[in-house]
Chain A
Amino acid sequence: MEKPVLSVENLSLDFHLRTHILHAVRDVSFDLHRGRTLALVGESGSGKSVTARSLMRIVDKPGVMVGGRIILRTQGREVDLAQLASNSPEVRAVRGARIGLIFQEPMSSLSPVHTIGSQIDEVIRLHSGMDKRAARARTVELLGQVEIPNPAEMADRYTFEFSGGMRQRAMIAMALAVNPDILIADEPTTALDVTTQAEILDLIKRLQTERGMAVLLITHDMGVVAEVADDVAVMRFGRIVETGTVDAIFHAPQHAYTQRLLASTLKLEQPADARAEAVITPQPLLTVKGLTKVYGGAKGFLGTKKFALKAVDDVSLVLHAGENLGVVGESGSGKTTLGRLILRIVEPTTGQVLYRQKDGTEIDVTALSKSDLRKFHADVRLIFQDPFASLNPRMTIRQIIGDPLVVEGKLKGKEIEEKVAELLRLVGLSPDVMERYPHAFSGGQRQRIGIARALALDPRIIIADEATSALDVSIRSQILDLLLEIQSRLDLSFIFISHDISVVRYFCDRVAVMHRGKLVEIGPAETICTSPSEDYTRALISAVPNPDPRNKRMLHRTRFSALSTST
């Protein structure tokens, strides 16, 4: 085999923080080969991003490289980048020219006050010495290559005028402007919708084949790894615990951590075993009828008509007792608004939400008075996405979980404490933690506390809004199992809102698919996930990466024609 274009040998990096030194990268070694993709996989805090940045010597303070070599072999020369000063002309000549970089957040990675074109021109002119016009011509050509329509016109637009997918395309154009030998893609699709993700990964693959680049893909998503990687390095706590070809990693993992990571990923590829069959009763627990929410539309300042946005457009569905209903959709599909409309945190424009109370009578939630709404909120609870923002940092765990009980006023002092202890045990935490504050807990533990709070009033329905999205994959499946276990003990129904189709498939009995405020399709989870009837759903499902390199789903996906205009 040809010599690797880049070799990293025993790289170590330390972060000198105020209270301690964090050894973020420890003795990391890997090779990048032309035309091949190495995926660096790990959960948050594993040191994968820092590793990638150190290849370009752009690690921010207080990070310090403490050892190792970074050998770059291009244009017939060998350079050890680790030996050079991070701001030396030699290193700068490598950045952007020999190594290109794209990031997770295309919005914040591009300057908000410069046009897209001028930002790309700059790289070209810096490294190739072209004049202004030649550089612009090249920019337009590049934008065309990354499939941006009307490239000449779009080059004069600003970042905020691009959609998320288009921004990432522009970012790719910029990274590839000077034909680098290596492309580093740091979570390039994490902030994007699944269909956009598929297109961006496609694009990277295509450009890689055309140019014979080496790609270093940083990701936490095993599905993406299986779809695009040739080789895999698994990172944990700053070390590479295992390297191998993608097939070896997925089908014969050696390290316990790799096995566990794969197990938690694969587990979500099928329905949970623990899920009890929901009994479909003739009388649904919750009925949503023609629910609509329109934002704007009123006459604006100086008589200009403001743009009206239908966030939720005539959605009707039912939830049965003991059932788990999934609501999936991409960003802007209105799924979160739907959840908030049902709870009336957001007031619906039109439509009805009918709720069948314990005594069998049905009430219309949209017509409830403030005090009746409060009673409804005791029966129907919400679990938030962000486990950090949803707990008041100034209250102890006992106060947070006990707050709904205090407000309800049925229990007093010691009884509340006992109930909180019971709830903590239910969500798998020790009652000893009661006097601690949220800052003492990890993300997964905080989400458990949020669940305990939701359960405090013995609810009948829980609306979980992206409840597992902020968590690493191993924690994610634990939380899902916890919810299922609680459901088997208590009489509960879930409305599970998520952009993650595998999570919904694992957790839900039925799935509703939303697209641009409208309900596209609703049906049993297995049917929706294996043989959906609507085109949009088919495109959505087939764009989900499959964590099996022997069966790449995404590259053979169906495309939904209406999508190409939106990305």
Chain B
Amino acid sequence: MLNYILKRLVYMIPTLIGMSIISFAIIQLPPGDYLTSLLSTLADGGAPIDPATVERLRSQYGLDQPIWIQYGKWMLGILTRGDFGFSFEWNQPVSEVIWSRMGSTLAISFAALLLVWAVSLPIGIYSAVRRNSIGDHVFTFFGFIGLAVPNFILALTLMYVSFRVFGQSVGGLFSPEYVDAPWSLEKLWDLILHLWIPILVIGMSGTAAMIRILRANLTDELSKPYVTTARAKGLPEYKVIVKYPVRIALNPFVSAIGWVLPELVSGVTITAIVLNLPTAGPLLLRALVAQDMYLAGSFILLLSVLTLVGMLVSDILLALLDPRIRYN
């Protein structure tokens, strides 16, 4: 088992390097280098430019050196000092801006993942066992809708509906009166009132996809001989299904996190922009529009790493669930 986890970790390294290269490429994409942007912003602000500072920054980020050295310096900074570069828009190091935003992104993604599981598991089982029943058709239809409606449209629609029905605006995480208030039960309730829409929106397409996966896998498993064996033992039908085929259909269900997670993180990004949530999304968009590239690139890198860690967790879960993987 330990060997297996180790193997997975080693296997992640090239993927990580690939992701960091892509993120760095995005930093480099806009015309002109980072310092020119910084200088022009500073100049716009009318602040005096200290040539010594410019020189120091130039050598710190290796801007006068070949691109791969710049990449090396950036990576070295991240790995040794946790230094992701400097955000000129915020006029502080990227690392100071980024972590609280990554925390809320992680929290919301995780909540959405829990929703995906909690909803798709029972529905998937129901749909496979009662294949082609009315309920199955209804769920399948909603599943298709869930896959077809882009996150941001769903967010806008729910925002409109909630505005019309409850007369409340749903942007942000808190109502204005609670933003600066100390934590209390009321504040928590207010948070939950604000959170259900984003979590529903983000989880929707993942849930729909997972239902389809579970339904397909479970349908396959239901016709396997070991199900007949379980039935021939004299087990009641629900036990036959839950203990054997469902248990085995869970494996692909768990490993599907691998691609559901990038989708969730994507969903969090765009939904947060629409609903104005304090996650990475709105800041990333702002940084990109303002061409604050170190901040933007760092967000992209960290969001990618987040999904990678999620995949590692799913690999480990899978190994726990399936002895065939654990023993190989």
Tell me if chains A and B make direct contact, with any CB pair below 8 A.
Answer: yes
Instruction: State the A residues within 8 Å of B (CB).
Output: 53, 56, 58, 60, 87, 92-97, 99-101, 103, 105, 108-114, 122-123, 126-127, 158, 160-161, 171, 174-175, 301-302
B324→A160 contact, CB < 8 A: yes
B237→A87 contact, CB < 8 A: yes
A95→B322 contact, CB < 8 A: no
Residues of B near A58 (CB, < 8 A) are: 228, 231-232
B323→A113 contact, CB < 8 A: yes
Residues of B near A87 (CB, < 8 A) are: 236-237
Closest chain B residue to A127, Cβ basis: B234
**Which of B85-93, B219-227, B288-296 binds A?**
B219-227
Known A103-B228, A158-B327; contact A111-B234, beta-carbon cutoff 8 A = no
- Measured CB to CB, the closest approach of chain A to B56, in angstroms, equals 44
Q: Mark B1-42, 1 if CB is under 8 A from A, else 0.
A: 001001100100000000000000000000000000000000
Question: How far, in angstroms, from A379 to B252 measured CA to CA in the complex?
Answer: 47
B235→A110 contact, CB < 8 A: no
Residues of B near A161 (CB, < 8 A) are: 327
Residues of A near B231 (CB, < 8 A) are: 56, 58, 95
- Measured CB to CB, the closest approach of chain B to A162, in angstroms, equals 13
Contact of B235 among A53, A122, A160 (CB under 8 A): A122
B233→A122 contact, CB < 8 A: yes
Closest 10 CB pairs of A and B: A95-B234, A96-B234, A96-B233, A101-B232, A109-B225, A92-B234, A108-B225, A123-B233, A158-B323, A109-B229
Cβ of B248 within 8 Å of any chain A Cβ, yes or no, is yes
Cβ of B58 within 8 Å of any chain A Cβ, yes or no, is no
Question: How far, in angstroms, from A105 to B227 measured CA to CA in the complex?
Answer: 13
Question: How far, in angstroms, from A56 to B322 measured CA to CA in the complex?
Answer: 31
**Which B residues, 209 to 261, have Cβ-Cβ distances below 8 Å to chain A?**
223-226, 228-237, 244, 247-248, 251
Known A96-B232, A158-B323; contact A111-B244, beta-carbon cutoff 8 A = yes
A123→B234 contact, CB < 8 A: yes
Known A158-B323, A161-B327, A302-B10; contact A112-B248, beta-carbon cutoff 8 A = yes
B324→A94 contact, CB < 8 A: no
- Measured CB to CB, the closest approach of chain A to B133, in angstroms, equals 13
Contact of B229 among A97, A101, A126 (CB under 8 A): A101
- Measured CB to CB, the closest approach of chain A to B284, in angstroms, equals 37
Known A94-B234, A96-B232, A127-B234; contact A109-B324, beta-carbon cutoff 8 A = no
A301→B226 contact, CB < 8 A: no
Question: How far, in angstroms, from A161 to B233 measured CA to CA in the complex?
Answer: 22
Cβ of B313 within 8 Å of any chain A Cβ, yes or no, is no
A109→B228 contact, CB < 8 A: yes
- Measured CB to CB, the closest approach of chain B to A458, in angstroms, equals 45
Cβ of B302 within 8 Å of any chain A Cβ, yes or no, is no
- Measured CB to CB, the closest approach of chain B to A85, in angstroms, equals 11
A301→B232 contact, CB < 8 A: no
Max count, chain A CB within 10 A of own CB: residue among B7, B223, B230: B230
B7→A110 contact, CB < 8 A: no
B7→A302 contact, CB < 8 A: yes
Cβ of B173 within 8 Å of any chain A Cβ, yes or no, is no
B225→A105 contact, CB < 8 A: yes
B6→A126 contact, CB < 8 A: no
Cβ of B321 within 8 Å of any chain A Cβ, yes or no, is yes
- Measured CB to CB, the closest approach of chain B to A180, in angstroms, equals 10
Contact of B324 among A93, A97, A126, A158 (CB under 8 A): A158
Question: How far, in angstroms, from A100 to B223 measured CA to CA in the complex?
Answer: 20
Residues of A near B324 (CB, < 8 A) are: 112-113, 158, 160
A60→B223 contact, CB < 8 A: yes
Residues of A near B322 (CB, < 8 A) are: 112-113
Question: How far, in angstroms, from A58 to B247 measured CA to CA in the complex?
Answer: 21
Closest chain B residue to A56, Cβ basis: B232
- Measured CB to CB, the closest approach of chain A to B164, in angstroms, equals 47
B226→A109 contact, CB < 8 A: yes
Residues of A near B10 (CB, < 8 A) are: 302
- Measured CB to CB, the closest approach of chain B to A66, in angstroms, equals 21
Question: How far, in angstroms, from A105 to B224 measured CA to CA in the complex?
Answer: 11
B6→A108 contact, CB < 8 A: no
Question: How far, in angstroms, from A114 to B322 measured CA to CA in the complex?
Answer: 9
Residues of A near B229 (CB, < 8 A) are: 101, 103, 109-111, 171, 174
A108→B232 contact, CB < 8 A: no
Closest chain A residue to B233, Cβ basis: A96
Residues of B near A94 (CB, < 8 A) are: 234
- For the complex with contacts A111-B230, A112-B226, 5 further pairs of A-B residues with Cβ separation under 8 Å are A87-B237, A92-B236, A96-B233, A109-B228, A302-B3
Question: How far, in angstroms, from A99 to B223 measured CA to CA in the complex?
Answer: 21
Question: 27 A–B contact pairs at CB < 8 A?
Answer: A60-B223, A87-B236, A87-B237, A95-B231, A95-B234, A96-B232, A96-B233, A96-B234, A101-B229, A103-B229, A108-B226, A109-B228, A110-B226, A111-B226, A111-B230, A112-B226, A113-B323, A114-B244, A123-B233, A126-B235, A158-B324, A158-B327, A160-B323, A161-B327, A174-B229, A301-B7, A302-B7
Closest chain B residue to A89, Cβ basis: B236
Question: How far, in angstroms, from A111 to B6 measured CA to CA in the complex?
Answer: 28
Question: How far, in angstroms, from A302 to B327 measured CA to CA in the complex?
Answer: 16
Residues of A near B226 (CB, < 8 A) are: 108-112
Residues of A near B230 (CB, < 8 A) are: 111
- Measured CB to CB, the closest approach of chain A to B132, in angstroms, equals 11
Residues of B near A95 (CB, < 8 A) are: 231-234
A113→B233 contact, CB < 8 A: no
Question: How far, in angstroms, from A171 to B10 measured CA to CA in the complex?
Answer: 40
Question: How far, in angstroms, from A105 to B229 measured CA to CA in the complex?
Answer: 11
Residues of A near B237 (CB, < 8 A) are: 87
Question: How far, in angstroms, from A101 to B231 measured CA to CA in the complex?
Answer: 10
- Measured CB to CB, the closest approach of chain A to B108, in angstroms, equals 33
Residues of B near A93 (CB, < 8 A) are: 234
Question: How far, in angstroms, from A60 to B228 measured CA to CA in the complex?
Answer: 9
Residues of A near B223 (CB, < 8 A) are: 60
Residues of A near B323 (CB, < 8 A) are: 112-113, 158, 160
Question: How far, in angstroms, from A489 to B10 measured CA to CA in the complex?
Answer: 63
Residues of A near B232 (CB, < 8 A) are: 56, 58, 95-96, 99-101, 175
Residues of B near A301 (CB, < 8 A) are: 7
Question: How far, in angstroms, from A104 to B152 measured CA to CA in the complex?
Answer: 53
Question: How far, in angstroms, from A85 to B236 measured CA to CA in the complex?
Answer: 13
Contact of A126 among B224, B234, B251 (CB under 8 A): B234
Question: How far, in angstroms, from A435 to B225 measured CA to CA in the complex?
Answer: 38
- Measured CB to CB, the closest approach of chain B to A327, in angstroms, equals 31
Q: Mark B296-328, 1 if CB is under 8 A from A, else 0.
A: 000000000000000000000000011110010
Question: How far, in angstroms, from A103 to B226 measured CA to CA in the complex?
Answer: 10
A92→B6 contact, CB < 8 A: no
Residues of B near A92 (CB, < 8 A) are: 234-236
Q: Mark B107-130, 1 if CB is under 8 A from A, else 0.
A: 000000000000000000000000
Residues of A near B6 (CB, < 8 A) are: 302
Closest chain B residue to A92, Cβ basis: B234
**Which B residues, 177 to 234, have Cβ-Cβ distances below 8 Å to chain A?**
223-226, 228-234
